[in-house]
Amino acid sequence: MSTSEIIPVTLPGRRPGRPGRRVSVIAGLEWKDIPAGQSTGRHLPPGRGQYVKLRTDSGGTHARVGFTRSPGRLFSLGVLAIPVLKGNGYAFVRYGSRVVFLACLHDMPALTGDVIGSAELVRNACTVFRTLHDRDEPTDGWVILGSPEAPVDIQDILPSALPGRARLHPVNQAIRIVTLTVLAAALAGSALWGYNRWQEEQRLHQLQDMNLRQMQDAQQNTPDRQAEPHPWPQLPLVQTFLDTCIPALRSLHVSEGGWQLTAAECTPDTLRADYERPKGSTVTYEDFRRAITQHNRFSFVTLQDGGEKAQAGYSLTMTAGTDESLQPVEQHLARFLAPFQRGNRPLQMETEKMPDIAGHTVTIGDREVLLFRDWQQWQFSLEERLQPDAALFTQPGTRLTAVTLLLSEDGELTWKTRGRTWATQAQQPTENTHE
């Protein structure tokens, strides 16, 4: 897992033989999409931080935002790399002993394309990007710079001038005020330029000293390391889930007391069925309730939408799954996606963002344990006319979380299946890399 990291660089000089100015770029931003017209602030994590926002072409449906907790005057390395990648490509960039993976698509940083860490970590990140965007590859192919083993120098992707859209901005007003004050002071006269530059260098030195002290303290007081508990053993196996849910869904009556079934959902612990009173009908909620309660299995019935809709349901119990061994990311994704790609099935899949646990400790008995995560998680959904088939979900670490049955007014059935799948990822030393 990658976190953001500040990288001091020197821009290429606009004139031969003259170096450009010193700036701070940042890699490892947390990227997400925000629907157009909605407030950026309410979609970002609480507390102080900075963000960079890029809008899609005119008429687009969303804006893409990158977030970090890091302070200072910063520019996104992912945004700066877009021109050299010609808007569609990826690069492996050297930074000390670490590597930065940067990917862009349609002149926007990819959601999974801003990662800093070891060669193995960025290799896995590239695999995820290529897998998720296999159908998006340009006709003339991706622009590719470097490799995990032979990354390019960071100077090779830096422009001579910084575009305004790469600049990060404070999330809250307090930080905005500080930023504006610094800018105003800088505009007071050229005499203050050297002072501001000295302040920036001092701030970077302080950050470096703080990181060094933290690393030294961690080495002296390193707790035992232990893997975070795996989530998939808590969920039933796919076959167990479908053997319970499919008969339960198919046993529902299309009509109860004159009310019509519109949808039903089965999860590992509950079955819920939605019914609707036909328009112009004289049947009542009392008719529906009397009919549905004749089936002893229903434990709750609720009225909705001003008396025109109702929901009934009951609890389910399923045996938990096993803690099976996972496959590496590249192998798992290739095998998981294969049956859907061969059959041209409409699978939707995305990486599921997980809270960062780097540096988090728990107390077990009388000892302190440093948690690390050795797995990566995706969520998926499949909506089609075909009934869910367990043969599609045979890869280790794959679980279904819900099956929904949708019934149209003309009686056509649609099945929507949701679930999660996990793969193993390399364990990174959190005390050094915070990945």
The tens digit of pLDDT for each residue in 302-356 reads 888 788 899 999 999 899 888 888 888 888 998 999 999 888 889 999 887 777 6
Domain map of the chain by residue range?
Answer: 5-187, 232-236+319-433, 238-315
Q: Rounded to whole angstroms, what are the CA distances from 307 to 232, 252, 283, 285?
A: 39, 21, 11, 7
Work out whether strand 259-266 and strand 62-68 pair parallel, antiparallel, or are unpaired. Answer: unpaired
Q: What is the pLDDT of residue 357?
A: 61
pTM across the whole model: 0.47
CA pair distance 414, 391, nearest whole angstrom = 19
Q: Check residues 29 and 136 and name the one with the higher pLDDT.
A: 29
E-only strand ranges, 165-258: 169-170, 224-227, 255-256
CA pair distance 189, 83, nearest whole angstrom = 33
Q: What is the pLDDT of residue 60?
A: 58
Residue 11 DSSP class: P
Candidate ranges 60-69, 184-193, 246-255, 295-304; pick with highest mean pLDDT: 246-255
Specify the residue for token string 């905005």.
176
Token pair in block for residue 193: 């330029």
Note the pLDDT tens digit of each residue in 28-40. 999 888 877 777 7
What percent of the chain stands above pLDDT 70?
Answer: 78
Asked if the model's pLDDT at residue 185 lies above 60, the reply is: no
Q: How many CB atoms lie within 10 A of CB 187?
A: 9
Note the pLDDT tens digit of each residue in 410-433. 778 899 999 999 998 755 444 333
CA pair distance 303, 308, nearest whole angstrom = 8
Q: What is the pLDDT of residue 194?
A: 56
Token pair in block for residue 114: 């801003």
Q: What is the pLDDT of residue 75?
A: 95
Of 146-150, 217-221, 355-359, 378-382, least confident by mean pLDDT is: 217-221
DSSP string, 60-73: -SEEEEEEE---SS
Specify the residue for token string 């002290």.
213
Note the pLDDT tens digit of each residue in 347-403. 999 887 777 665 566 566 666 767 777 888 899 999 999 999 999 999 999 999 999
CATH assignment, 232-236+319-433: 3.30.980
Q: Please identify, in words, the CATH class of the domain defined by 238-315.
A: alpha beta
CA pair distance 379, 351, nearest whole angstrom = 6
- Tell me the average pLDDT across 20-26: 88
What does the mean pLDDT of the chain come to? 82
Q: What is the pLDDT of residue 1?
A: 42
Q: Check residues 159 and 14 and name the one with the higher pLDDT.
A: 159
As a 3-state breakdown, the chain gives helix, strand, coil percent values, each rounded to 5, of 30, 35, 40
- Tell me the average pLDDT across 277-282: 88
CA pair distance 84, 74, nearest whole angstrom = 20
